[in-house]
Amino acid sequence: MLKAHNLVKIYAASGVPVHAVRGLDLEIEAGEFVAIMGPSGSGKSTLIHMLGGLDPRTSGEIWLDGKRVDTLSESGWALLRRKKVGFVFQGFNLVANMTVADNVELPALLAGTSPREARERREQLLDKLSLSDRAEASPGQLSGGEQQRVALARALANRPALLLADEPTGNLDSRNTRDVLRLLGEVHRGGQTIVMVTHDARVAALADRVVSLLDGEIVDDGRIPRRKIAGAGEVIDLR
Amino acid sequence: MSTARAATRWISADLRARKGQAALTVLAVAGILAALLTGATLLEEGTNPWRSLFGQTNGAHIWIHTTERPDVWRLRELDGVATSAGPYRSAPVTLVQDGKRPQAALRGLPAQLPEVARPQVQEGRWLSSEQPDGAVVERSFARASGLRLGAPLTLNTVGGSRQVLYVRGIADSAEQGFYPEWTPGLIWVLPSTLDRIEPKHELSEWVTGLRLADADATQVVSQRVLVELRQVERVYTWREVRAAMELDNRLLGTLLALFGVVGLVAAALALANAAGGRVLGQLRDLATLKSLGFTRGQVALLLVAEHGALGLLGIGIGLAAGWVLPVVLLGAGAAAPLPVLAIGAGAALVVLAAVGLPAWRGGRTPPIPAAPAAPPRGHLSRLARLALLVRLPPALVLGTRDAFTRRVPAFLTAFGLAVPMMMITIGLGVWATLDGFLKNPEQVGQSAALIVKTGKLTQGQAEELIAREPGVERSYPGSTVNALAPGEARSVQVRAIGGSREPYPYPVAEGRGYSQPGEGVAGQGLLDLLGVKIGDRVRLTVGGSPLIVRIVGRVVEPDLDGQVLSVGLDTLEAKDSVPPGYHALVLKPGADPGEVRLRLLSASQEGLDVQRVVNPAERLGVLRPVIAALIAVLALIGLANLLTAIGLGLRDHASDLAVLKAMGLTPRQVTATLVTATGLLVVAGVLTGTAVGAATVTGLIDLQGHTSGVGAGIGRPPAAATLVVTVLAAVSAALAVALIPARRAARAHVTTARLTHGVPSGRS
Ligand SMILES: Nc1ncnc2c1ncn2[C@@H]1O[C@H](COP(=O)(O)OP(=O)(O)OP(=O)(O)O)[C@@H](O)[C@H]1O
Ligand SMILES: [Mg+2]
């Protein structure tokens, strides 16, 4: 599904070059749920941005569904994202002028869904994230956690084959975290591929696989056997 | 389709979020468009009377005045001539009215209206043999002289006899321009009546009109006419008539057009500024749109659609207003659809070009919202530290730092104010130039305030009366004759005034004044018309005899589009210059022309004909309301730009404000910080605009003067005091405007800062 080969990102804008990602190899199967962990500044956001085509790579290759995509133009990436990729930003990035409802419906409309379908999908998503009553609010009126959940709803609005989420549970209390994880689990069971950055080991435990980054390199890549999750009391607690 | 739907959502949400600013943008564009269209309509209205009159009266293209009756059949056989009007006998008369003595031409026309150049009767009826004392008066002359149907017309003939006729009709004609721009006025009578009033044929002339197959053949045909006929006194074509009918003159028309175009540029700038400011403030959201799958082109298109729609809406409203206003306010005819469409289309192009750049910039944002610009540092922080050292209030320091750290918005703000300010200064310069005309008429070639014609008195009597009048500084005898220029289809005016030894005090702009017979000075219009320059000799024909003049200088010449040659009286042959046609009186400083005129009239028992010289500024009086309206619209544009800048500034500072308050600044200090930031840019923009405007205005007016024939050397910059007052007014108005949103922002709860950055924050 998604494959990165010898991926490198060097930020050179502000004088001193910063090696954020250094020659990273990663292969993700279709339908897999991958958690990316690592200390702050280890290059998690940079990696996930590159995988979504939001930030150009310095060198290396990215393959999506058997096609090489790192050579795509900005517009090419945009069209690809519209159809296949949903993205949750670490900073949410909700459109400030639009209501929550409009924010969530926008990607669906863009992907060609009819306005009615888009509305139904939005109602469904907001409902699952306990945000139905905030649909007409503007993002500025929401709490950090609420904004984060709206961002997730927006990423899922066009039923992307690939969900890239940068700390989708960062600002949430345990109740909301449970809502989010339940939704992610549902999405996962629906066959969508999920790549999620997280600091929270308990959240990571829900994934099929945990990739650990340090200074822009993979230091650990471990599959978590299914059985183990099912048996873990903590995880059941969260559900 | 899917993109359009998504884009529509975004646009409507964005417009809802900034209703006030959007409305102001629409208003500014609409205001400029309405002004532009009103100006164009007035100009059209100025040219239209000729076109419609010429059509209605089946007018003649060329008019020839000869001393003897021409053989009209020979003229008709000339190539290009279709039909003819006349020849009609025409005699000069003076209308006797209380105080005024307007000159008129009494023209003999048959009771049967002619086919070509038939006067259009507007009131009353045409001449008939049953009413031999009836006359029909040309409409503009009737209006200027206050003549109504049935009113008596008391006429003095050249021979000195007095006759009374009655106004039976008032008619329009395309034969000559409107009175008083075109003199003499026109009165039609039956040929038999004319013979009775002025039996002497040597005191009259013959007027013939030629209608051509092709209106553009005037040049060739009039050349032929000149070869064919002897004793041609004067030839003119429909072009001169049309020019005379135009709204006052070319100067006014071109100035209006200039203001309109520059106003449109200013509106475009305001629009670009509004769009640009908005886009800069929205880069984060635009980036998000891209991360959701909008391509670069789609984002740009969306922005063009949003901001362009505002501009186009403004254009629509402006066109509607500009179409209705002249009709309602001025009673003018509605504008022709073609210029309206042309102006609308031109403005639409300007609007799209204006929003194109910011839209392109918006499209270029990377999909990852750029990290907030590097925190302000560098040259100004050193300045700020210095300011803190000398214990300036912190608000001032922070505001100063703020004003200049974000360079692009700072530039947009200053520039957006500088351009309207520059144009306001130019408008004030035009105003000052008009004032200069009025206060110092000698600088525009009008040293003489009164023109005296001998009327019923003899030369000697007249000169004696003038010499006894204490208000007169000097009297210059003068004569005005028409001369035929080589290769021109028309006559030019030669003004012989003063002696070559004691020349009339012309304001010589280039070269020198004439100082001996055979030398002359010309207006820019004449130099351009004949294609000559100072130092050249021109050969003209006056009444059949040649006149060779060396042009030694250029003078500022406000009359007849500058197409006047001025020489000393002794340069003309004696038959043309003795006795002089008039005396031009230069008054002593402080003497009131009106009083001197009344004294001369009473001393001569109404025998003298004394006229005041019309200052060109009086004719251009229409310009003043235009300038005032333009300044108002420009102020509106400046306001729109200012609000854009303030909105952008507040958005940029939403998070900083929270920090400032958290640091312990009082709301008052926060307000002061914001106002200082805006105020510095306002001052910079206003000062720059005023300086540039003041530096260019003289040159611009002179350029305009050059093209209108008046010639360079008339432009005046506005007075320093005016400029200071304008600058102060602009700055204080801007600060007052900046204060309101700044205070609101300072009072607002800091938590709104989360709107863009999602940072947890405390309360002040
Ligand atoms: N636009 C940028 N310009 C320069 N350097 C950058 C930029 N963005 C990130 N970096 C640097 O790249 C490195 C990796 O950053 P990244 O945002 O990927 O870290 P992260 O793992 O997501 O951290 P966190 O867990 O705090 O979000 C950091 O050292 C950071 O300073
Ligand atoms: Mg990160």
| pLDDT tens by residue, B565-592 | 888 888 777 777 677 778 888 888 877 7
* B541 and B624 assigned to the same domain: no
**Domain carrying residue B485:** 447-614
* B602 and B461 assigned to the same domain: yes
Q: Whats the size of chain A, residue-wise? A: 239
Ligand 1 pocket: which of A42, A47, A171 to mutate (most atoms <8 Å of CB)? Answer: A42
Assess if residue A70 is contained within a domain: yes
By the 8 A CB rule, do B577 and B479 touch?
A: yes
Assess if residue A17 is contained within a domain: no
By the 8 A CB rule, do B507 and B436 touch?
A: no
By the 8 A CB rule, do B296 and A74 touch?
A: yes
Q: A91 vs B14: CB contact, 8 Å cut-off?
A: no
* B569 and B488 assigned to the same domain: yes
Q: Does A78 touch chain B (CB under 8 A)?
A: yes
Q: Which ipTM did the prediction report?
A: 0.87
Give B658's pLDDT tier (boundaries 50, 70, 90): low
* B610 and B463 assigned to the same domain: yes
pLDDT of A145 strictly over 50: yes
pLDDT at position B758 is 36
Residue among B288, B296, B377, B755 with most chain A CBs within 10 A, to mutate: B288
By the 8 A CB rule, do B340 and B319 touch?
A: yes
User: Which residue is closest to A157 within chain B, CA to CA?
Assistant: B292
B349, burial (CB in 10 Å: exposed 0-12, middle 13-18, buried 19+): exposed
Assess if residue B226 is contained within a domain: no
* B629 and B758 assigned to the same domain: yes
Residue among B8, B9, B10, B757 with most chain A CBs within 10 A, to mutate: B9
Share of chain A above pLDDT 90, in %: 50
The CATH number of whichever domain residue A175 belongs to comes to 3.40.50.300
* B151 and B186 assigned to the same domain: yes
Helix (H) or strand (E) segment spanning residue B299: helix B296-325
Assess if residue A23 is contained within a domain: no
pLDDT of A36 strictly over 80: yes
Closest CA to B448 of B601, B563, B611, B257: B611
Vertex B178: Cα angle to B176 and B181 (nearest 5): 105
Q: Name residues with Cβ closer than 5 Å to ligand 2, which is an ion.
A: A 45, 90
* B254 and B296 assigned to the same domain: yes
Q: Give contacts of A113 with chain B, Cβ < 8 Å.
A: 2
User: Which residue is closest to A93 within chain B, CA to CA?
Assistant: B288
Assess if residue B73 is contained within a domain: no
Give B755's pLDDT tier (boundaries 50, 70, 90): very low
Distances in whole angstroms, Cα of residue A216 to Cα of each of A48, A212, B606: 12, 10, 107
The residues that bridge with B550 in the sheet, in sequence order, are B519, B537
What is the overall mean pLDDT for chain B?
Answer: 78
Assess if residue A6 is contained within a domain: no
Give B42's pLDDT tier (boundaries 50, 70, 90): low
Interface of B with A in 337-366 (CB under 8 A): 366
Assess if residue B74 is contained within a domain: no
Average pLDDT over residues B518-525: 84
* B554 and B628 assigned to the same domain: no
Distance CA B257, CA B346 (A): 14
pLDDT of B306 strictly over 80: yes
pLDDT in tens, B168-218: 999 988 888 877 667 788 999 999 888 888 888 877 889 999 898 888 788
pLDDT at position B53 is 80
B627 C-alpha to ligand 1 centroid (Å): 58
Assess if residue B141 is contained within a domain: yes
By the 8 A CB rule, do B115 and B76 touch?
A: no
pLDDT of B655 strictly over 80: no
pLDDT at position A234 is 41
Assess if residue B737 is contained within a domain: yes
Give B632's pLDDT tier (boundaries 50, 70, 90): confident
> In chain B, what's the furthest Cα-to-Cα distance?
105
Assess if residue B218 is contained within a domain: no
Assess if residue A212 is contained within a domain: yes
pLDDT of B385 strictly over 60: no
Among the ranges given (A20-24, A54-58, B326-330), the one the predictor scored with the smallest mean pLDDT: B326-330
Give A202's pLDDT tier (boundaries 50, 70, 90): confident
The residues that bridge with A5 in the sheet, in sequence order, are A61
**Domain carrying residue A141:** 30-57+66-236
Assess if residue A2 is contained within a domain: no
Distance CA B227, CA B207 (A): 17
Ligand 1 pocket: which of A7, A22, A45 to mutate (most atoms <8 Å of CB)? Answer: A45
Q: Which residue has the tokens 């999908």?
A: A121
Measured from the CB, is residue A11 less than 6 Å from ligand 1? yes
| DSSP, residue by residue, A182-221 | HHHHHHHHTT-EEEEE-S-HHHHTTSSEEEEEETTEEEEE
Average pLDDT over residues B358-378: 68
Q: Give contacts of B13 with chain A, Cβ < 8 Å.
A: 95, 97-99, 102
Measured from the CB, is residue A193 less than 6 Å from ligand 1? no
pLDDT at position B380 is 45
Measured from the CB, is residue A43 less than 6 Å from ligand 1? yes
Q: Which residue type is seen at B707?
A: T
Last residue of a domain, one of B596, B614, B632: B614
Tell me which residue in B14, B293, B758 faces A82 most closely, judged by beta carbons.
B293
B531, burial (CB in 10 Å: exposed 0-12, middle 13-18, buried 19+): exposed
Assess if residue A110 is contained within a domain: yes
Give B259's pLDDT tier (boundaries 50, 70, 90): low
* B608 and B510 assigned to the same domain: yes
pLDDT at position B489 is 61
Provide the domain count of chain A. Answer: 1
* B539 and B407 assigned to the same domain: no
* B433 and B326 assigned to the same domain: no
Assess if residue B220 is contained within a domain: no
Q: Give contacts of B293 with chain A, Cβ < 8 Å.
A: 78-79, 81-83, 107, 110-111
Give B708's pLDDT tier (boundaries 50, 70, 90): low
pLDDT at position B752 is 40
Assess if residue B712 is contained within a domain: yes
pLDDT at position B497 is 83
pLDDT at position B73 is 84
* B266 and B138 assigned to the same domain: no
Q: B295 vs A96: CB contact, 8 Å cut-off?
A: no
Assess if residue A107 is contained within a domain: yes
pLDDT at position B44 is 60
Instruction: Kindly state the tokens that stand for B100.
Output: 């005024």
Among B60-74, B620-634, B651-665, B667-681, the range with the most confident prediction by mean pLDDT is B60-74
Q: Does B752 touch chain A (CB under 8 A)?
A: yes
Q: Does A99 touch chain B (CB under 8 A)?
A: yes
